[in-house]
C-alpha cells in the first residue's frame, strides 16, 4: 500500500474523490450516454456518486437523491466544478413510498423523461444475528428491500404509462455464501436479487430491463460505519486480496444500462474480486471457532 493511501485511510478519506473520478480513464466512448437521463439513489456518496460522475462524463443528464440534502448539494457542486456538468438533487428517503413517488415525478418532469434508474441507496450495521432487535431488523429490511422496491415500481409504472423502455440497476452485496455479522442485509439483498429476476421477466414485454450488481468490498466513505477491527482487515476477504474502487462499480453500472447491456436482463453482475467464491469479512472480528481456518 502506498504512503498516500495509508494516510487517506487513517484520515478515513476512503476512495476516489470527485476530481479523481473526473480524471479517471474510462473504457467508454465520450458520448456513449448522450441523451440518456439517469436517476441515482444514494448518489451523494460512494458508488452512486462515482456513477453520477461517469454518467455526466459520457453525456448523460443526472438527478441524485438521498436523505442528506447538504451531502447531495456538495456532491453536485463538486461534480460541476470537476466536469462542468450540472446535476439535479432531491433530499428524500427511499423508505417512504410518497417521497419516492414525488422524486420520480420530479425526475421525469425535470429531466424530460428517464432512461435508467440506479439504486445505490442502502446500508446496514454489523451485528451478530442473535442480538438483532425487531427495530434493527426492520430498519435494514425497510431500507434495502422495501426502499429499493418502491423505487423500482415507481419508475416502472411511469415507463409503462408513457409506453417507453427503461433500465434498472440495483446495487446489492455479495450474498452467495451469506454475510456473517450482517444477516439482515444478506436477507434484504437476496430479496432484491430475486425480486429483480422476477420483474425482469414480468417487465420484459414493457421494454424494461432489470439487473443487479453485487459489489465486493469497495473503498467508499460508507466503510466509516464499520469498526476499526474490520477496517484493518479490509480487502483480505476475497481471492484477489484487495478492495475494489468506485470506478469498478460505475463502469459496471454503465455496461448494464448502456447499449452494451441491451440483451442483458435478470442478471447479477458480481464485481467483487471473486468474493462470492472465497473469503469472509467478519465485520465484528473472526469468532474463536473460525480462527485459523483461512476464511
Site for ligand NDP contains 71 (CB under 6 A): yes
Site for ligand TC6 contains 50 (CB under 6 A): no
Helices (H), 26-133: 46-57, 69-83, 97-110
Name beta bridge partners: 89.
Answer: 64
Q: Give the three cell numbers for residue 121.
A: 441507496
| Straight-line distance from the first to the last Cα atom of the chain, in angstroms, rounded to the nearest whole number | 22
The answer to whether 91 and 66 have CB atoms below 8 angstroms apart is yes
Q: Are strands 37-41 and 61-66 parallel, antiparallel or unpaired?
A: parallel
Site for ligand TC6 contains 146 (CB under 6 A): no
Site for ligand TC6 contains 133 (CB under 6 A): yes
Site for ligand NDP in 10-29 (CB under 6 A): none
Region near ligand TC6 per CB under 6 A, out of 13-21, 53-61, 127-135, 254-262 = 127-135
Name beta bridge partners: 120.
Answer: none
Residues 6+ away with beta carbon under 8 Å from 23? none
Q: Are strands 61-66 and 166-171 parallel, antiparallel or unpaired?
A: unpaired
| H or E element in which residue 46 lies | helix 46-57
Nearer to ligand NDP, 120 or 257 (CB): 120
Site for ligand TC6 contains 268 (CB under 6 A): no
Pick the binder of ligand NDP from 126, 191, 215, 266 (CB under 6 A).
215
Site for ligand NDP in 74-93 (CB under 6 A): 93
Pick the binder of ligand TC6 from 36, 41, 120, 143 (CB under 6 A).
143
| H or E element in which residue 103 lies | helix 97-110
Q: Which residues bind ligand TC6 (CB under 6 A)?
A: 123-125, 127, 133, 135-136, 139-140, 143, 173, 179, 182, 222-223, 225, 281
Q: Which residues bind ligand NDP (CB under 6 A)?
A: 41-42, 44-48, 66-68, 71, 93-95, 120-123, 143, 147, 171, 173, 215, 217-218, 220-223
Amino acid at each position: 500500500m502506498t504512503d498516500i493511501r495509508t494516510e487517506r485511510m487513517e484520515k478515513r478519506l476512503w476512495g476516489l474523490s470527485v476530481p479523481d473520478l473526473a480524471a479517471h480513464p474510462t473504457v467508454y466512448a465520450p458520448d456513449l450516454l448522450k441523451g440518456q437521463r439517469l436517476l441515482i439513489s444514494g448518489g451523494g456518496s460512494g458508488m452512486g456518486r462515482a456513477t453520477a460522475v461517469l454518467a455526466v462524463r459520457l453525456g448523460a443528464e443526472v438527478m441524485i437523491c438521498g436523505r442528506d440534502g447538504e451531502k447531495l448539494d456538495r456532491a453536485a457542486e463538486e461534480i460541476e466544478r470537476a466536469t462542468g456538468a450540472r446535476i439535479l438533487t432531491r433530499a428524500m428517503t427511499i423508505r417512504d413510498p410518497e417521497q419516492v413517488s414525488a422524486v420520480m415525478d420530479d425526475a421525469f418532469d425535470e429531466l424530460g423523461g428517464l432512461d435508467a434508474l440506479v439504486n445505490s441507496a442502502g446500508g446496514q450495521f454489523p451485528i451478530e444475528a442473535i442480538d438483532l432487535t425487531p427495530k434493527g431488523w426492520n430498519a435494514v429490511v425497510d431500507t434495502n428491500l422495501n426502499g429499493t422496491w418502491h423505487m423500482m415500481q415507481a419508475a416502472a409504472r411511469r415507463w409503462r404509462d408513457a409506453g417507453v423502455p427503461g433500465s434498472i440497476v440495483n446495487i446489492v452485496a455479495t450474498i452467495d455464501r451469506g454475510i456473517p455479522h450482517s444477516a439482515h442485509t444478506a436477507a434484504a439483498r437476496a430479496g432484491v436479487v430475486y425480486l429483480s429476476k422476477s420483474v425482469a421477466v414480468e417487465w420484459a414485454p414493457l421494454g424494461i430491463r432489470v439487473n443487479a450488481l453485487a459489489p465486493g468490498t469497495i473503498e467508499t466513505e460508507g466503510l466509516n460505519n464499520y469498526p476499526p477491527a474490520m477496517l484493518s482487515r479490509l480487502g483480505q476477504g476475497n481471492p484477489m486480496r484487495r478492495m475494489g474502487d468506485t470506478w469498478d462499480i460505475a463502469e459496471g453500472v454503465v455496461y448494464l444500462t448502456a447499449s452494451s447491456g441491451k440483451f442483458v436482463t435478470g442478471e447479477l453482475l458480481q464485481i467483487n474480486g471473486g468474493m462470492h467464491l472465497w473469503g469472509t469479512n467478519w465485520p465484528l472480528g473472526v469468532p474463536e471457532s473460525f480462527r485459523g481456518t483461512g476464511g
